[in-house]
Amino acid sequence: MKKNIRNVSIFLLLIYLTFYFIFRGQNFQEILNLIGKVDIKFIVLAIVFMSLFVICDGFNIRKMLRNLNEKTTIWKCIKYSLIGFFFSAITPAASGGQPMQIYYMHKDNVKVENSTLTFLINLSCMQVATISLALFNMIFNYKYMKLPMILLFVLGIFLNLSALIFLLVAIFSRRVSKGIISFLVKVMRFFRIKNIENKKEKLENGLQKYQKNAKEIRSRKRVIFKVLIRTYIQYISLFSVTYFVYRALGFNEYNMFNLIATQSVLYGTVSGIPLPGSVGASESAYLALFEHIYKDKNLLETAMVVDRFINFYLLVAISFIVAIINDIYVKVKYKKSKVEGEN
């Protein structure tokens, strides 16, 4: 709990510093006036597409779990998606998302080896989708990028490719899989879960089942293909938010493809940077990449604020509420089962 409070504090400090340095000396009142004039119907569409991003993730989680014979519902899987989003946002390099998802899935009686494999496959598909979209769309955007942004893009793609290679090795390598299980045991020790040694033994015994499941998943190419296609839809939905914000501000010079292309390059540039939620990097990169689209500085900064609010900060707030409610539910459920066990 203390670590989470510290991470949230650092996250909020980064947000404050980012917007302080961006808007220092600017006419912030004018930006607020511009925000007040946005076309609401396009803002609603942006939120709908942001919701589709979460729903697609939930369906991917459910697809994988059901193929591993785990009983679950789409609502639970959307819950896991939101919990992962929140803890990814407040931890460096999004390192806290998947462990917390696996932890709460374990509380819902999902086997750790199955939840781990599910997120390995989903993360692999995410990396394939975002890297390929960024590289493809770089063709249309390189002329708008200055040397520092190009270098940052190369670094971001390199870091994401490294993560993808690690994920693929984890799926195919028994040795790396053992390392992942050891990491999960450390996570459980951090949360002071009882009977760690017994759980460790079960996890090690489950490793064999995990490898068997990994083999089965690899043989089900159609399942992985469907997850990958849905992941492309998921991230195109996320990048579409930028287009609807652009239209909400009254512009129509550039089409949807132009805005999605630019946003996909931005995501590929900053997603590998080990900052909580890429806070600071995302905002600065947005101002650099979208400068040719929004000629006026106040309009550019307004677009950045609205875009970032919908595709990140709003979802962080919602996922925070879901994570808190779920944590309370898990604790109440645990206390209730403990009392019933004593009786």
**Domain-located, residue 261:** yes
SS3 24: coil
Instruction: Convert the pLDDT of each residue in 254-302 to its tens digit.
Output: 999 999 999 999 998 888 777 777 777 888 888 888 988 988 888 888 8
Q: Which of 79-83, 90-94, 158-162, 172-176 has the lowest mean pLDDT?
A: 172-176
User: Which residues, other chains included, contact 250 with Cβ-Cβ below 8 Å and sequence gap of 6+?
Assistant: 39
Are the beta carbons of 312 and 282 closer than 8 angstroms? Answer: yes
Can you give the pLDDT at residue 58? 95
**Given its phi and psi angles, is residue 93 left (phi above 0), alpha (psi -120 to 50 degrees) or beta?**
left
**Domain-located, residue 5:** no
For range 295-321, the mean pLDDT: 89
**Domain-located, residue 260:** yes
pTM of the model: 0.82
Q: Which of 4-8, 95-99, 237-241, 258-262 has the lowest mean pLDDT?
A: 4-8
Can you give the pLDDT at residue 310? 92
**Domain-located, residue 168:** yes
Structure-block tokens of residue 78: 């959307």
Question: What phi and psi values does residue 95 have, to the nearest 5 degrees?
Answer: -75, -15
Q: Which of 4, 191, 186 is nearest to 87 (CA)?
A: 4
Tell me the residue range of the domain where 220 lies: 27-328
Can you give the pLDDT at residue 177? 65
**Domain-located, residue 92:** yes
**Domain-located, residue 8:** no
Structure-block tokens of residue 23: 């808007």
User: Which residues, other chains included, contact 115 with Cβ-Cβ below 8 Å and sequence gap of 6+?
Assistant: 65, 70, 101, 102, 105, 106
pLDDT averaged over every residue in the chain:
82
Most confident of 39-53, 180-194, 196-210: 39-53
> For residue 206, what pLDDT band results from cuts at 50, 70 and 90?
low
Portion of the chain with pLDDT greater than 90, in percent? 27
Can you give the pLDDT at residue 194? 67
Cα distance between residue 226 and residue 121, in whole Å: 12
Can you give the pLDDT at residue 247? 94
Instruction: Convert the pLDDT of each residue in 102-130 to its tens digit.
Output: 888 988 888 887 888 888 888 889 999 99
Q: CB burial class (10 A; 0-12, 13-18, 19+) of residue 209? A: middle
Number of domains in the chain: 1
**Domain-located, residue 1:** no
Most confident of 38-52, 89-103, 203-217: 38-52
Can you give the pLDDT at residue 45? 96
Q: Degrees (nearest 5) of the Cα angle 203, 177, 228?
A: 110
**Looking at the predicted structure, is the pLDDT value of residue 210 above 70?**
no
The residue type of 232 is Y
CA distances 181 to 40, 113, 133, 205, 277, Å, are 47, 8, 32, 11, 26
**Domain-located, residue 199:** yes
- Among the residues of 25-146, which ranges form H helices? 28-36, 40-67, 74-89, 97-107, 112-141
Can you give the pLDDT at residue 147? 79
